[in-house]
Amino acid sequence: MHCLSFETESPVSRVMNSWSPQALVQKSLEARNFAYCPYSKFRVGAAVLTSTGSVFTGCNVENACYSAGLCAERTAISKAVSEGHTTFKAIAIASDLEDRVISPCGGCRQFMREFGSQWDVYLAKSDGSYKLMTVEELLPCSFGPEDLRAKQLD
């Protein structure tokens, strides 16, 4: 896996319809404000861009039963799926961290992988700068839906 540098300008090859990476990152930063995190006080927001250009946001939602909580990435993707979208171009993830980007947990990486390995992931800092990766780079040698398709045995 190679590391990519922080970007502040969108390369021409990364133009996403009328959405720029900065706009998607900004939406994830705004989504943080709705986080329900009374226990950790760690706000996370996400914004996912569908293949049709729609954007869905999500935030983390904690629960007194810790394992019942939801991460921002899964919230945003689930909102999109519940509206009929299952193909994605990109997701931006932001937290309140100032000195480094936020990275999705293992469960979220697998959740994202369910919908493909070749879409962009913008890992953002609170100042709006980001690191660009793909789902595949975040979860190499992954297990996906295609692995469950049984081959016909002769």
Tokens coding 120: 């962009």
Q: What residues form the annotated binding site for Zn(2+)?
A: 71, 105, 108
pLDDT score of 8:
39
Does the residue 147 lie in any domain? no
Note down the domain range covering 29. Answer: 6-138
Q: What residues form the annotated binding site for substrate?
A: 60-66
Domain count, the chain: 1
pLDDT < 70: residue spans in the chain: 1-18, 150-154
Q: Which residues are catalytic?
A: 73
pLDDT score of 3:
36
Quote the DSSP letter at residue 93.
E
Distance CA 73, CA 48 (A): 8
Does the residue 153 lie in any domain? no
Its pTM stands at 0.85
Length of the chain: 154
Does the residue 33 lie in any domain? yes
Q: Which residues of 53-81 are buried (b: 16+ CB within 10 A; e: fewer)?
A: eebbbbbbbbeeeeeebbbbbbbbbeebb
pLDDT score of 1:
33
Does the residue 10 lie in any domain? yes
Does the residue 151 lie in any domain? no
Does the residue 145 lie in any domain? no
Does the residue 143 lie in any domain? no
